[in-house]
């Protein structure tokens, strides 16, 4: 992967520049970032720090995707930049421009922390649905994360998932909090009647 210095300069000078599309396309493809894209983390940390307000949101989403796919050696090399990027995402989160931006920032924080599942899968909340596989019979069910079927009951929250839900509640993001409650809930398989946690059985979910 090699992005022209002219493209990087243009992107750094304007958060709305069309060159950002080139940076995204050259860095990530179909949900996976090129291993060499980790080299962009210092540039992203410096560039995003120079932006203000909602200008930071989309670049931070990119930083999260890149960081979560970075090799362990690169995460060590760029530890200071990753820490700085996480701080920028945490700082922006309460003022996110809308619910979608809030979810992408939460996902970016997870990615910058190295969580290989929620650093990639949390944006299912934006789509409002998730495919799950029953762990007993392998039946696939489409779960509506906003309203409707199937019926979801509260599930057990890990420390991380509890924190994500608490962030949404604290920021008065009711729709996001409700979606997270369903994503981290339990359902009954319509085929065999087995009860299982939705988040643990997402179809095609990213796994460490």
Residues contacting 181, CB < 8 A, separation 6+: 152, 154, 165
Residues pairing with 153 in the sheet: 186
Q: Using an 8 Å Cβ cutoff, are 195 and 154 in contact?
A: no
Mean pLDDT of each 10-residue bin along the chain, 208 residues long: 91 97 93 92 98 98 97 97 98 97 98 94 92 93 86 84 94 94 92 93 66
| Residue 175 token pair | 């729709």
- Count, residues in the chain: 208
Q: Using an 8 Å Cβ cutoff, are 134 and 142 in contact?
A: no
Model's pTM, two decimal places?
0.92
In the prediction, which pLDDT does 208 show? Answer: 42
In the prediction, which pLDDT does 57 show? Answer: 98
Residue 177 has, within 13 A of its CA and on its CB side, a CA count of 12
Rounded Cα distance between 203 and 208, Å, is 15
In the prediction, which pLDDT does 147 show? Answer: 79
Q: Considering only CA atoms, give the Rg of the chain.
A: 18
In the prediction, which pLDDT does 94 show? Answer: 96
């Amino acid at each position: 992967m090699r992005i022209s210095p002219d493209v990087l300069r243009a992107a750094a000078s304007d958060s709305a520049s069309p060159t950002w599309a080139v940076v995204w396309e050259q860095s990530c493809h179909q949900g996976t970032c090129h291993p060499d894209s980790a080299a962009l983390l210092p540039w992203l940390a410096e560039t995003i720090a120079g932006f203000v307000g909602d200008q930071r949101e989309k670049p931070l989403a990119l930083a999260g995707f890149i960081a979560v796919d970075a090799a362990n050696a690169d995460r060590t090399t760029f530890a200071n930049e990753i820490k700085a990027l996480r701080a920028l995402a945490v700082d922006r989160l309460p003022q996110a421009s809308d619910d979608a931006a809030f979810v992408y920032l939460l996902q970016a924080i997870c990615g910058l922390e190295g969580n290989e599942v929620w650093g990639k899968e949390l944006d299912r909340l934006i789509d409002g649905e998730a495919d799950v596989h029953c762990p007993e019979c392998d039946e696939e069910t489409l779960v509506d994360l906003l309203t409707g079927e199937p019926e979801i009951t509260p599930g057990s929250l890990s420390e991380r998932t509890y924190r994500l839900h608490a962030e949404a509640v604290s920021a008065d993001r009711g729709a996001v909090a409700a979606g997270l409650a369903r994503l981290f809930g339990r359902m009954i398989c319509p085929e065999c009647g087995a009860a299982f946690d939705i988040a643990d059985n997402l179809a095609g979910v990213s796994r460490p």
